[in-house]
Amino acid sequence: MLGLMQDKPLLISSLLEHAERFHPEVEVVSKTVEGTIHRTNWREIGQRARRLAISLEKQGVKKGSVVATLAWNTHRHVELYFAVMGLGAVLHTINPRLSPEHLDYIVNHAEGEILFFDTTFAPIVEKMQERFGHVKRFYAMAAEATLDKIAPKIRDLGSYEALIDNTPADPAFTWPQFDERTASSLCYTSGTTGNPKGVLYSHRSTILHACVGGLPDIMNTSANATILVVVPLFHVNAWGLPYSAAMTGTKLVLPGPHMDGKSMYELLRDERVTLAAGVPTVWQMLFQYVDANSLKPREDLCLKTALVGGSAAPRMMIERFDREFDTFLLHAWGMTEMSPLGVVCQLLPKHQHLPAEQRYDVQMKQGRAVWGVQLKIVDEDNQRLPHDGKARGRLLVSGPWIVDSYFKGEGGKILDEEGFFDTGDVAVIDDDGYITLVDRSKDVIKSGGEWISSIDLENVAVGCPGIAMAAVIGVSHPKWQERPLLVCVKKPGAELDKSTVLSYLEGKIAKWWTPDDVVFIDALPLTATGKIYKLGLRQQFKDYQLPTA
């Protein structure tokens, strides 16, 4: 027997309608590309998104059309999110840090008809426009009057602001209603191996993810919170924050291209931010700014939570946030294929009164599954392993916001017999359900039949005084197959050599994990999403001769 409740589709437009109606005055603050502070609110975002939608329809955008963006976190990008998806079209958010080959590939693969870009990216568009064959029209996210200065040599160019200015509000406009399984946005994986693959989210998956993302133990979005969204809107829908924030009428603070420590600190302080979300490299820059200027974050800021994911949060980051900022580092794990939320590391009641050091031990774990996500770890024969805090295996996931197949069927069948997707990560799960990520399966170091976690080693190494960043990779070894090489970047002015680093590690790691060598380089290569580019680093050191070899 079916229930007798109304069968209303879960649509993204409903989020904006709600924010506009019930939280009209709540601000959306952006640091613009030009560096000025721009203030708007959910009412205006709603009004402008509707006018934008009307003008996009006039341009021929309809259900299923693909509209691409090359844009930073600003109010305009948020408006595009709601305008495009509200129409039932697909927003393809492009990571501007991808290589030209990958950009070429994904823009053509996605078949975007219109491309919006922030003026920073005008040179990329100018250079690539002839290769973007499907794109009929380009829009610079700027006022019409500035176009000549910004982008003189781009074909079929229009201004974003003119699109809105030239479209009067239509009181009769309502957002179309359609099947909640309709595609809403498209995001490509970074393509560290092979071409990037598209993950096509739906209205249903997005809304369910937003409901869960906003819960108190997860991102705790609220009309009383203020969120600094450092994680880019071009990367997995900024972890779903714009949707959860619209649902609860949360104030958003958007840094534009300004992700340096100084800009972050000023936005946190001046906008009274209570939650900030970003990858660890961003917080490293914030710490460096705090150190260089002897700042007192505890006094200046009211940051309750730093949501950290994308790569492992090192212990020193958890400690510093706690001691110097009075901020809880909320560790989370997920991926593009998971919208991205998978697990979040909240403390349980039994942890609340633990001494700080033991609480940090818990916070180092990636966390426990949020409702909706099922996890399993399996061995080489795909047999389930116990959740005993010891067995380590490949981590597989399933749930209503987890990929079923890649866009246009790339990669073929990607789920196992039980409908689980292989994340490519290796993990341990304890009896409380906390997962600890051992490594990406391709990053784990295979030493004499045993595994060494590059994540664990890096976490300890970045705590060493004088080290700004650290990465550990496996280098081939005649006896052990692979041995760890520690690659470090020193803090400015730090005096440090191999022996100081190795003696720092002593006693903090198992003896046989000790890196066979330590090298210092000026900067670590980063991926398009700001993570350490391990594959590139392995290529760089592929012929490295370990002193022990």
Query: What residue ranges bind ligand ADP (CB under 6 A)?
Result: 189-190, 192, 309-312, 331-333, 335-336, 366, 423-425, 437, 440, 527, 529, 531
Contact status, residue 285 vs residue 264, Cβ threshold 8 Å: yes
Least Å from the CB of residue 193 to ligand ADP: 10
Smallest CA-to-CA distance from 229 within 58, 75, 6, 26 is with 75
User: Which of 274, 311 has the CB closer to ligand ADP?
Assistant: 311
Least Å from the CB of residue 334 to ligand ADP: 6
User: Which of 189, 221 has the CB closer to ligand ADP?
Assistant: 189
- How far, in Å, CA of 86 to CA of 52, rounded? 11
User: Which of 265, 513 has the CB closer to ligand ADP?
Assistant: 513
Least Å from the CB of residue 189 to ligand ADP: 5
List 20, 126, 161, 337, catalytic entry: 337
To the query of whether residue 266 is one of the catalytic residues in this protein, the response is no
Q: How deeply is 510 buried, as exposed, middle or buried, from its count of CB atoms within 10 A (0-12, 13-18, 19+)?
A: exposed
Least Å from the CB of residue 289 to ligand ADP: 23
- Cβ-Cβ contacts under 8 Å for 339 (sequence gap 6 or more): 201, 205, 206, 209, 236, 237, 240, 401, 402
- How far, in Å, CA of 105 to CA of 189, rounded? 12
Smallest CA-to-CA distance from 158 within 135, 131, 180 is with 135
- Cβ-Cβ contacts under 8 Å for 5 (sequence gap 6 or more): none
56 is written with which tokens?
């996009």
State phi, psi for 108 to the nearest 5 degrees.
-75, -35
Least Å from the CB of residue 331 to ligand ADP: 6
Least Å from the CB of residue 310 to ligand ADP: 5
Helix (H, G, I), strand (E, B) or coil at 415: strand
- The CA dihedral of 46, 51, 53, 58, to the nearest 10 degrees, is 170
List 32, 189, 206, 336, catalytic entry: 189
If one counts every other C-beta atom within 10 angstroms of the C-beta of residue 347, the result is 15
Least Å from the CB of residue 363 to ligand ADP: 11
100 is written with which tokens?
């030209």
74 is written with which tokens?
């600003």
If one counts every other C-beta atom within 10 angstroms of the C-beta of residue 319, the result is 16
- How far, in Å, CA of 424 to CA of 333, rounded? 13
To the query of whether residue 506 is one of the catalytic residues in this protein, the response is no
List 149, 446, 450, 512, catalytic entry: 446
CA 54 vs. chain centroid, Å, equals: 30
- How far, in Å, CA of 86 to CA of 90, rounded? 9
User: Which of 305, 366 has the CB closer to ligand ADP?
Assistant: 366
User: Which of 88, 310 has the CB closer to ligand ADP?
Assistant: 310
State phi, psi for 99 to the nearest 5 degrees.
-70, 155
To the query of whether residue 513 is one of the catalytic residues in this protein, the response is no
To the query of whether residue 451 is one of the catalytic residues in this protein, the response is yes
List 451, 491, 508, 531, catalytic entry: 451
- How far, in Å, CA of 87 to CA of 13, rounded? 8
Least Å from the CB of residue 111 to ligand ADP: 22
Which residue shows structure tokens 């008809």?
A: 113
User: Which of 27, 361 has the CB closer to ligand ADP?
Assistant: 361
**Known catalytic residues?**
189, 337, 446, 451
